[in-house]
Amino acid sequence: MSHASADDYRPGLEGVIASETAIANIEGADGAGGLEYRGYRIEDLAGHVSYEQTAFLLLHGELPNRQQLREFDARLRQARPIPEALVELYQRIPKSIHPMDVLRSSVSVLAHFDPDANAAPTDHAANVRKAERMIAQMATAVAARRRISQGLPLVAPRADLDHAANFLYMVHDKVPSEAMRAAFDLSLVLYTEHELNASTFAARVTVSTLSDIYSGIVSAIGTLKGPLHGGANEEAWKVLERVGSPENAEKWIQDALARKQRIMGFGHRVYKTGDPRATILKTHCRALAQEVGDDRWERIAEPIEQAVTSQKMLPPNVDWPSARLYHYMGLEIELYTPIFALARVAGWAAHVIEQLDHNRLMRPRARYIGPPHRPVKPIDQR
Ligand code: ACO
């Protein structure tokens, strides 16, 4: 085995190739930094195929034909209800606990009720079944916890609605308009997968010890929560709220940049010239702002986007427009990162399965920078 030298250390593993994957490519076919899921450009998927089709593509390797989609969809719809024990837990967890923390616990609880709970961690077919159940149940779990923490009656999933419409229905007790459903579905497709981001890496490291898929997804949820990763969509909304009015935007952003403040929703470790997901979502933000008859947030966002892009060379990432998109759908800020998670679970699961199918324990090295070798002094001489 060859050893990397201490000089190879890259803080944050920046640019380090830590896995092979056939799931997502963020170099793009032309090397220009695009995003592809299993060879399909994101621009050709978003708005053209549903979240269900995208999840099937990630888990099963190909886009489904009609019959495969019908069967997959039926399995998801059937798996939507969550165990009563989880609902009872939601009633006991303090209302103030953040939904991402509750979601992390929820997936642990769901693991215990999975019919394949005792399958071997490397059982490919059982892992795909578990992944499908998680996709279905995480959406129900997020909506159920939300309703309970607001003191509202639970809304049971509806088998006649697709994944996107059913989630919005369970949150609001109201079937969404077609424009809202389509925009939410598209946002889920854009959030579904993104190569070896921090949460996916965490999931792969976890299962590389031959731990189980649920443990991998729990690790991923904990990792996604941070504001430098998925938590950025909540922080992006707080920026817009802090600015408050279009008239205030230019001054606010110039002051923030002068203070060297980190503007959440901008910049990306890999995309340096622009995040293709943000470009797609921006168009939908404008359309939904029109539908709800309030373009204030678009008018606040635009000068901020212009300033950060031109002065810092940091274009918006997916979390910048998604915060506005979810606001137009009447979704509370605390749901933004859980929504990211319930979309991304398909990508996480695909990576976990890929890791377990070709496993090698992930065990990197650290460069030691502590004190040199020294003797242990008896306690009275220290
Ligand atoms: N606002 C202002 N300045 C920024 C921002 C930002 N959003 N992002 C980076 N910078 C600056 C840094 O301050 C630093 O400046 P300096 O060299 O003068 O110190 C320089 O750009 C490089 O920053 P790094 O943090 O080293 O760049 P990195 O590639 O590691 O950053 C990251 C990637 C963490 C996403 C960063 O851009 C950031 O913190 N963005 C805000 C959080 C965010 O939106 N996260 C979501 C990412 S996408 C996702 O998870 C779906």
Residue minimizing CA distance to atom 16 of ligand 1: 260
Do 271 and 129 belong together in one domain?
no
Pocket of ligand 1 (CB under 6 A): 228-230, 232, 262-269, 312, 314, 317-319
Asked if residue 269 and residue 218 are part of one domain, the reply reads no
Side chain identity, residue 65:
N
Q: Are 278 and 265 in contact (CB under 8 A)?
A: no
* Closest C-alpha to ligand 1, atom 37: 267
Give the model's pLDDT for residue 43.
94
| Nearest-atom index, ligand 1, CA of 198 | 50
Q: Are residues 184 and 57 in the same domain?
A: yes
Is the pLDDT confidence value at 150 over 90? yes
Token representation of residue 138: 């995480």
The pLDDT tens digits of the residues spanning 343-382 come to: 999 999 999 999 999 999 999 999 999 999 999 999 999 9
Which among 253, 325, 246, 248 has a CA at the least distance from the CA of 291? 325
Do 83 and 158 sit in the same domain of this protein? Answer: yes
What is the Å distance from ligand 1's center to 228 Cα?
A: 8
Give the confidence band of 3 by pLDDT, cuts at 50, 70, 90: low
327 closest CA partner among 293, 285, 287: 285
CA of 15 to the centre of ligand 1 (A): 15
How many A from CA of 363 to the centre of ligand 1?
A: 27
Q: Which atom of ligand 1 approaches the CA of 318 most closely? A: 51
Q: Please check whether residues 173 and 236 belong to one and the same domain.
A: no
Within 10 angstroms of residue 20's Cβ, the number of other Cβ atoms is: 7
Q: What is the pLDDT of residues 103-130, one digit of tens each?
A: 999 999 999 999 999 999 999 999 999 9
Closest-CA residue, ligand 1 atom 14, reads 262
Residue 189 in any domain: the answer is: yes
- The pair of three-digit structure tokens given for residue 298, joined into one six-digit string: 């678009």
Atom 13 in ligand 1: which residue has the minimum CA distance?
262
Q: Are 219 and 202 in contact (CB under 8 A)?
A: yes
| Model confidence at 266: pLDDT above 90 | yes
Question: Do 301 and 156 sit in the same domain of this protein?
Answer: no
Active site residue ranges? 268, 319
* Alpha-carbon distances, residue 294 vs 127, 233, 237, 376 (angstroms): 44, 20, 16, 68
Cα dihedral value 219, 224, 226, 231, nearest 10: -150
Number of domains forming the structure of the chain: 2
pTM: 0.94
Residue 16 lies in a domain: no
Cα–Cα distance measured from residue 321 to residue 281, given in angstroms and rounded to the nearest whole number: 6
Task: Name the phi and psi angles at 41, rounded to 5.
Answer: -65, 140
Mutate which of 10, 228, 273, 339 for ligand 1 pocket (most atoms within 8 A of beta carbon): 228
* Residue 151 domain-assigned (yes or no): yes
- Residues for the chain: how many in total? 382
**CB-based contacts of 265: which residues, under 8 Å, 6+ apart?**
232, 233, 235, 236, 239, 316, 317, 319, 320, 323
Boundaries of domain holding 294:
232-328
The CATH number assigned to the domain holding 71 equals: 1.10.580.10
C-alpha separations of 237 from 12, 233, 335 in Å? 26, 6, 12
Based on the fold, state whether residues 221 and 350 are members of the same structural domain: yes
Distance 72 CA to ligand 1 centre (A): 39
> Are 205 and 268 part of one and the same domain?
no
Q: How far is CA 187 from CA 32, 276, 359, in A?
A: 22, 12, 31
72 and 190 share a domain?
A: yes
> The CATH number of the domain where 262 resides is what?
1.10.230.10
- The answer to whether residue 152 sits within a structural domain is yes
Tell me, yes or no, whether 375 lies in a domain: no
Same domain, 277 and 192: no
Q: Which two tokens stand for residue 215?
A: 């443990």
Ligand 1 atom with the shortest distance to the CA of 317? 48
Residue 271 domain flag: yes
Mean pLDDT of the chain: 95
- Residue 262 CA to ligand 1 center (angstroms) comes to 7
Written as six digits, the tokens of 150 are: 């607001």
Q: Best substitution site from 10, 13, 237, 266 to test ligand 1's pocket, by max atoms within 8 Å of Cβ? A: 266
CA of 32 to the centre of ligand 1 (A): 20
75 lies in the same domain as 115: yes
Q: Is the pLDDT of residue 137 over 70?
A: yes
The answer to the question of residue 156 being in a domain is yes
Residue 13, judged by CB atoms within 10 A of its CB (0-12, 13-18, 19+), counts as: middle
Q: Residue 28 burial by CB count (10 A; 0-12/13-18/19+): exposed, middle or buried?
A: middle
- Give yes or no for a contact between 94 and 148, defined as CB atoms under 8 angstroms apart: no
Ligand 1: atom nearest CA of 194 is 51
**Protein residue closest via CA to atom 46 of ligand 1:** 229
pLDDT digits (tens, 9 = 90+) for 183-217: 999 999 999 999 999 999 999 999 999 999 999 99
Same domain assignment for residues 259 and 203: no
Residue 339 counted as domain residue: no
